[in-house]
Every structure is written in C-alpha cells, then in structure tokens.
Structure 1
Amino acid sequence: MQLTIKTSVIAVFAALATSACSLGPSGAPPAMPSPTHYGAQPQPQRTVEAAGTAQRFDVGAAPVPQWWRLYRSEALDALVEEGLRNNPTLAATRRSLNAAQEDLRAQVGASTLPSIDALAQADRVHSPVVPGIGPSTERYNVFAGQLQAQYNFDLFGAVRYGNKASAARVDVQAYEVEAARRALAANIVGAAINVAALDRQIALTERLATLASDTARDDAQRQALGSVSHAQALASARQAAALAATLPPLRQQRTSALNALAVLLGRTPDAAPAVPELASLALPEHVPVAVPAQLLRSRPDVQAAQAALQAAAADVGQATAQLFPSLSLTASMGRAGFSWPALLSGAGGIWAIGASAAQPIFHGGALLAHRRATKEAYEVAVLHYKSTVLSAFENVADSLAALDNDAQTLASTESEASSAHALFDETSARYRLGALPLSAAQASEQQYLTAQVDAVRAQRQRLGDTAALFQAMGELPPEPGKRASHD
C-alpha cells in the first residue's frame, strides 16, 4: 500500500511537470525562405572599377566587427571610438538595460525562492471590560517575536513562464542596445564622410563662383566696349549670381552635419571635432556578404524580434497556467507573552503552519479572455518576426544594389571629369599661346570643376553606402555582461 501511494504521488507530479512544459507555444521562430541571393538578380562578384578600386563581395565571409577601420583613417577611428564611449543616448540605453536586468533578478528571486521575514512587536493595550465585573478597563502589555516563511509552489509553471517572458524581454533590450551601437557607429562614419565631401564641394564651388564672377566682370567690360552683346553680359551676371547663391546652402549643410556629428560624439556644437579630408578615406575593397542564415544570427533587429516571439509564447503559457490550481505554504515560529519573563519562559513559544490551495472557478471570463489575448499577441509576434526578416533581406538587397550602381555612377563621372580636365589643359595651353581668349579658358575650367563636383557627390555616395552595407552585414562585438541570457 505504501509503495502504491508513493508511485501515485510520483505519477501526479510527473503529470504536472509534463503539463507545465506544454501549456504554451515553443517560441521557435517560424520557417523563413532562404534565398540564394538577395536581389532579383544574383549580386556580382565585384563592382566595376571606379577611382582605382573595384569592390569585391565576399559571400559567406564573417562580419567585420570594427569595419570602420577598413577606411584606413586614424582620425575616423578616433571619432567612432569617442562616440561609442561618450554618446549619452547610447549610455542611457545601457543604463536602462542594467535596470531591466536587476529587475529581472529581483523578480526571479522573489518568485522562485521562499520568503522569510522577521517580526518583532511590543504593544501596550488599553481595553474595556464587561461592566460590573472587575475594573472598568484593562491594561496589559504584549510582547512577540517570530520568523515567518512563505513558499508558493509553481505547480503548472505560471511563475516559470512569467520569468521566462521577462527574461526574453530583457534580451530584447539587450539586442536593442547592440542595434543602437551599430547605428551610432554608422551614423558617425556617415556624418564624417558627409562633412568631408561638403568641404571639398564647397572649395570647388567657391572656385566656380570666383570664375563666374571674373567672367561676368570681363563680359561687362567687353560689353561696354561693344565686343559682346548686352544679352551675353546679362547671362554671365546671372550665372555668377546663381553660383554664388549655391554656397550658403552648402555651408549650412556642412554646419548642420558637423553639429550633428558633435552631438553624436557627446560634444556640444561649439566643440565640434576636426574631420578627416575626403581624399584620406580609403574605400574598403572587400565587403562581407553573409548568407541569409548567417544574416539572421548577426542582425540584432532579427534577434530582438525572435526574443519578443519567445516572450509572447511564454505569456501564453503563463495565461494558461493561471487557469489551474495554485498551492502555497506558510509557517511561523517565535515567542510571545504579556511580559518579558513570560516571553522568555517555556510557555512563550508559538508556532503555526498552514497550506492554502486555490482553483479559479468564475472570473467573468477574464482568465479565458486574457489567454485568448496572449495567443493573438503571439501571432502578432510571429508576423512581426517575419516582417523583420523580410526587411533585413530588403535592406541588404538595397545596399548591394546601391554599391554596384554607385561604382558605375562614379566611373561615369570620373570619365566625364577626366575628359573635362584634358579639355581644360588643351584650352589653357592654346590660351597661353594666344590662340584662344581668356573667356574660353575660364569656361573650360568651369566645366572641369563642375564635373569634379559631380564626382565628389558620387564618391560621397559610394563611401556612405559602403558604411550602410557594413551596418547591415557586420556586427559590433557585444559588450561584456550586457546581453541577458536565461533558460
């Protein structure tokens, strides 16, 4: 008989454990397509050569953690490292993650371990008595001291599911910190490239404006002498004014970009940093292209969506477990008495032990509605995960196509600039020989400078899109102790 009882108890607890493990979805991410290439067409192995460099796409290569070093600029490296160290927004996300991790530790400790409290009490009591029997009032002391313990049995896993959901949400925050770090690095690199390109563009435009002003002045003098028409003089003046009008917006763009860079570094705009020259930035020649399965493991936005999916699955398990009975034990022991001697005597000992069980019966349909809501939220998390994965594929496809198109654009603008330079050299030589007027040499130089401005824009786009692809593919090394990991 005793063996039968023990066997029955073991069977009951095994059934409870089994049921607690299957009250909610597994939280595993849904199967996603694994495309052989990201875009509609397979990405080329390399781009066309432009500015002396043809970028190579290394399919399956490991992400580059500190990818900005591939630009081979110590000044750029220093800017990124300063920003990762001093940016206040990033620091705030780290602190928020630390707080969430501590809250999780508190929740796990409070929900899975017994609680023990010490209680001390000393009262002076004044109470009335029955009239006509004894004195009209009674005065006495009460002294008590005891330890109280309580433990809630997690029979169906409600606590475990709740802790699992909280842990997964902490993981979401950890991945969001990593995403913020990666975005910050890419933003700093992009801002530095933008400022450097604007510096070069402003210098070229200033020279263009000077040439246009000289041409307008010469045409005005020649028009006074009757060698050119009034219409040509007016056209030259209009072109000079139009070129001069482009300089203030360019300078404003540079100021705004530099101010934004200073804030990204944790500085005030008046302490904006020096930015490396555009010519000092080398274009990374090798760009890693992760295969889709590897991409899903390296992108923090996808990892955060997966952690949110696990949290939603745990919410379903917790809501289901709350439909079943709960059991808790309480115990206390100590001493009490109406005086200190009585408290310390053998008769002063007190103790209590009890158990309570509760089974939800009727809550107006609230528990079932809550469970249905968590199941719907889980389906939302599944769809959000799918959307995040598709967006990641789109992001990579756009970045790969951008680099290929950027290289072609830069190659074309370089060819144009090279032809314009050759024409300028030839025109200048003929002007020095007296075969052409000064205006012809100035017009030729203007064409060359305009082609250079276009080449600078194309170079800036190529450098910036390379940083965007590294952000999409690469990953920063995780900060020690920052990512939550809970089973």
Structure 2
Amino acid sequence: MRTHESFKPQRLAVLVMLALSGCALGPTGDAPAVPQPSHYAVEPTPDTIGPDGARQQFVLGQRAVPQWWQAYASPELSAWVDEALKHNHSLAQAERSLAGAKEQLRGQINESLWPTIDAVGQTSRQRALGLPTMGPPTNLYNVFSGEISASYTFDLFGVERYANSALAAQVDAQSYQFDAARRTLAANVVITAVNAASLRAQVMHTERLVALADTDAEELQRRAAIGAVPADDVLAAQANAQSLRASLPGLKSQWQAMRHALAVLMGRTPDAAPGDLDIAALRLPEHVPLSVPSDLLRQRPDILAADAALKVAAAQEALATAEMFPSLSINASFGQSGFSWPKATGAAGAVWGIGASITQPIFHGGALRARRRAAQEAYLASEDNYQQTVLNAFQNVADSLVALTHDADALQAASAARGHSEQTWRNAQRRTALGAVPPSTARAGERQYLNARLGEIRATATRLADTATLFQAMGVSIDAPEGAVQEKR
C-alpha cells in the first residue's frame, strides 16, 4: 500500500493498527513491467553464421557457462583470466568494500534489534562558589560515580525496519556491481590478449612487407643505374618502403601497450607481461548460448543492480513516511555515586532512574513532507532507471549479435581474398623458379598475399573479441577462483 496523504492526528489510531499489522508505508519495490522483444535486433538473428570451418551457432534459451573463456581452447588464456580474477587489485578493492558494506549492515540490524547498554565511570574534583552570608565562600569536593544505562526504541512504524531494508538493498546492489566487475575483467583479459596477438601478427607481416619494399627499391636502383628504368620509379619505390616503415612504430607501440594492459589486468607490473598468443591457434567458440530476454532480466548484474536500487528507493520512501509518525523510547540506568569513594560504593550511594518518552513530530517547517515527496520522486526515478537499464541491456546484446553477424561476413570475404592472393603468389613463385617471370613478380604476389593476410588477421581478431563481448552481454555470474581472497591477505 502506498500512502500519499499527509499525517493527520485523528488518524493516528488507524495508522497504528496498520503499522502493527505489517502494512507497508511505501511502494513494494517490485520491478515495473518492461517490453519483451520477440528478438533482440531489428532483424532476427540467424541460427548459424560463418563459413565452414569458422561457424558459430547461437543456441537460444541456453544459459552460458560461468567459465566461458575456456571455449577458446587456450590453456594459456584460461590461466591468465584465472590469475586476473585472483590478483587484480581493483577487483580486490571492490570485494573488500562489499565485505565492509555487509559488516555495516550486520551492525545496523543488530543495533536496531537489541537495546543499547553502556557503562560509564567518572571521577572529578570541583570548586563551587558559595553564598557570602551562608557557609564558606567556596566549596571543594570530589565526585565519584559509576553507572550502567540501557535504552531501547520501539519500531512502531518501521523506521528501523525500513532503514535496514534500504541498507540491505544497497548491499545487494553493490554485490551485483561486484559481479559486473568480475565479468568485465574476464572479458577485458580475453579481448586484450586477442588484440595483442593480432598486433603481434600484424607487426610480423608488416616487417615482411617493408623487407619486400626495400628489395624492390634496391632492384630498381640497380636498373636505374644502367638506364633501364627512370629515376622517378626508384623514388616512388623508396617512398613506398619508407611509408611502410613509418607504420611500424605505431603498430609496435599499440602491441606493447596491449601487453602492458594485460599485465596490469592480471595484477602484474608491465615488465612482467606474459607472452603473446598465436592468433591462429585460438579456436572460435562454435556454440554461443543466447539467453531469451526474460532470462536476461534475471541474470545481468546491471539489471539486478537497478532492481536493487528500486528496492532501496522504496524502503527510503517508506522510511520518510514512517518518520512522520510517533516514536516511543524507554531508558533505564543504575549506578553508584557519592562525594567520597566509601560513600559512592556503599548502599547510600545507589542511584537509579527509569523513564519513557514518546515523540510526535508537529512542526518541522515542512521538512518531513518535503523529504517524503523527494523520496517519492526518487522512487519514480528509480523505476525509470530500471526500465532504461533493461533497454540498454537489450541494445547491448542486439549490437553484439549484429556485430558478430557482420564479423562472420567480413572474415569470410577476407579469408577468400587471402586464399586467392596466396594461390596467385604460389603460382608466381613457381613461374619465377622456372625463369618465366622476373623475381619482382613473385614479390608483388607476396605483397598482395601479405596485405590480404593482414585483413584476415584483423577480421579474425574482431570476431574473437566480439564473441567475448557477447558472452559478457549475457550477464552470467563468474564463479570466484578458489583462494582469491586469501591470497590477497
């Protein structure tokens, strides 16, 4: 039940009965209804994409396994992901923060359920002024006291209960955010390793292209020396060789940066970066689980975190409403007190007190009502945030599926171009060996092949990385590696 009317004293009895019967003073916090698409993207996703030998099958309705990176069939890659999950310091920081939040929740709940009991001991020496006409002008005396006090506030309208619910939902949201951080870390390790392997292969092939361009320039220079070719051809060949050479530093810089990033993700220093994978040895995951939209709502951490935030807002609105109603507290104390230690510890020094208080807010300048209206608006904002988070999740999956579909087409075209250019190069090699064509023809064929191979390498890396992105978009929680916390102590 959601209340929208301001508190009126004549309705106190009814509200007390509602509170004691467990009726909520705010919204339930249930997630609002969201549209369920028939398929993620504008066009239905095909069941299978890619040519023979590089096919991927989307299995609709199947839940992805937590250790999805093992589908790449690379023991080194799997070991790197496990190491990152154990030793990444940002992840460890998030885990410690989550553990601290759970302890805060435990402390707040215990404090609200049980009375507080405190012991106080005090001793002092004081000088007090007396009246000039009565007694000495000043008094010097000692005070010894010891006291045990207890107090308890009855949660009549759920102030403490709603505060506990809000904090518990905040801890849940933080827990889901931690799961999202784990998923992101695993995906980043895979994507970074794939990109590093791709850049390494690109550097190697570009170095070969530079060597071929230098050979062409040297040959043309020798021919120009005897007048067989014009000098402009030599200058053009030299410019081409230098242009290719100029592209190498950038590639190498990107390659090393990827290696450094991978080392830091794994909790290492950059100089301890692992070696590179062979991109040709990485297996493209053949079966990619594809959750239906209704399952996605229950497994993506960002959606679950938005749902938890909605429950936080619901509890805070109920809390703001409950604070407008009376609160009842009792307190008691017992101790010993006196002007000397013997009197303070004797029977005559016993002191005690017991009391109860009830507080009903009457006038706070409209602050209580304003806080309640603010909490209502915050709840509505949380509903909008949840719906937008769901739509963003659907878009994330749709974009990943479309990217993979086009990646398969691009890789198929790049592989076909590489195959044709490789065959042309091999034919030129055989003809050069027979003396039918000059060596420059074979080098031209090899250059064409290398350029096509570079395109195939980039397309392969893109497809491998986008597959990891889709696995991440599915939102499956990752099991914690054994010893992940203990090894950080």
Deviation at 1:280, TM superposition (A): 2.1
Who is 2:20 aligned against?
17
Deviation at 1:145, TM superposition (A): 2.2
Separation (CA, whole Å) in 1 of partners of 2:100 and 2:90:
15
Deviation at 1:435, TM superposition (A): 1.1
Who is 1:278 aligned against?
279
* 1:85-104 equivalent positions in 2, closer than 5 A: 85-104=86-105
Who is 2:388 aligned against?
387
Separation (CA, whole Å) in 1 of partners of 2:112 and 2:361:
20
Deviation at 1:255, TM superposition (A): 1.1
Who is 1:27 aligned against?
29
Residues 12 and 312 (structure 1 numbering): CA distance in 2 closer, same or farther, change over 3 Å? Answer: closer
Residues 390 and 293 (structure 1 numbering): CA distance in 2 closer, same or farther, change over 3 Å? Answer: same
Who is 2:7 aligned against?
none
Separation (CA, whole Å) in 1 of partners of 2:401 and 2:476:
17
1:333 aligns with 2:337: no
Counterpart of 2:332 in structure 1: which amino acid?
A: A
Counterpart of 2:19 in structure 1: which amino acid?
A: L
* 1:72-471 equivalent positions in 2, closer than 5 A: 72-471=73-472
1:129 aligns to what SS in structure 2?
A: strand
Please list the CA deviations of residues 142-186 of structure 1 after superposition, one character each: whole Å capped at 9, or x if unmatched.
333221110111111111111111111111111111111111111
Residues 217 and 137 (structure 1 numbering): CA distance in 2 closer, same or farther, change over 3 Å? Answer: same
Counterpart of 1:53 in structure 2: which amino acid?
A: A
Separation (CA, whole Å) in 2 of partners of 1:340 and 1:39:
83
1:135 aligns to what SS in structure 2?
A: strand
Separation (CA, whole Å) in 1 of partners of 2:77 and 2:242:
36
CA contact (8 A) 1:124 1:141 kept: yes
Separation (CA, whole Å) in 1 of partners of 2:414 and 2:374:
57
Deviation at 1:474, TM superposition (A): 4.7
Residues 12 and 195 (structure 1 numbering): CA distance in 2 closer, same or farther, change over 3 Å? Answer: closer
Bigger shift: residues 416-425 or 468-477: 468-477
Who is 2:40 aligned against?
38
Deviation at 1:76, TM superposition (A): 0.7
Deviation at 1:268, TM superposition (A): 1.5
Who is 2:487 aligned against?
none
Residues 12 and 414 (structure 1 numbering): CA distance in 2 closer, same or farther, change over 3 Å? Answer: closer
TM-score (normalizing by structure 1): 0.92
1:334 aligns to what SS in structure 2?
A: strand
CA contact (8 A) 1:120 1:146 kept: yes
Residues 455 and 467 (structure 1 numbering): CA distance in 2 closer, same or farther, change over 3 Å? Answer: same
Deviation at 1:341, TM superposition (A): 4.0
CA contact (8 A) 1:64 1:474 kept: no
CA contact (8 A) 2:223 2:229 kept: yes
Deviation at 1:11, TM superposition (A): 8.8
Separation (CA, whole Å) in 1 of partners of 2:316 and 2:15:
25
CA contact (8 A) 2:411 2:459 kept: yes
Bigger shift: residues 234-243 or 203-212: 234-243
2:308 aligns to what SS in structure 1?
A: helix
CA contact (8 A) 2:183 2:478 kept: no
Separation (CA, whole Å) in 2 of partners of 1:375 and 1:449:
63
Separation (CA, whole Å) in 1 of partners of 2:330 and 2:378:
34
**How many residues end up aligned between the 2 structures?**
471
Please list the CA deviations of residues 25-67 of structure 1 after superposition, one character each: whole Å capped at 9, or x if unmatched.
11111101111210111111110226x1210101111121011
Separation (CA, whole Å) in 1 of partners of 2:258 and 2:387:
35
> What is the identity percentage for the equivalent residue pairs of Structure 1 and Structure 2?
48
2:136 aligns to what SS in structure 1?
A: coil
Counterpart of 2:284 in structure 1: which amino acid?
A: L
Counterpart of 1:26 in structure 2: which amino acid?
A: T
Unaligned residue ranges in structure 2 (runs of 5+): 1-12, 485-489
Who is 2:10 aligned against?
none
Counterpart of 2:456 in structure 1: which amino acid?
A: A
Deviation at 1:82, TM superposition (A): 1.1
Cα RMSD after superposing both structures: 2.0
Residues 442 and 228 (structure 1 numbering): CA distance in 2 closer, same or farther, change over 3 Å? Answer: same
1:38 aligns to what SS in structure 2?
A: coil
Counterpart of 1:308 in structure 2: which amino acid?
A: A
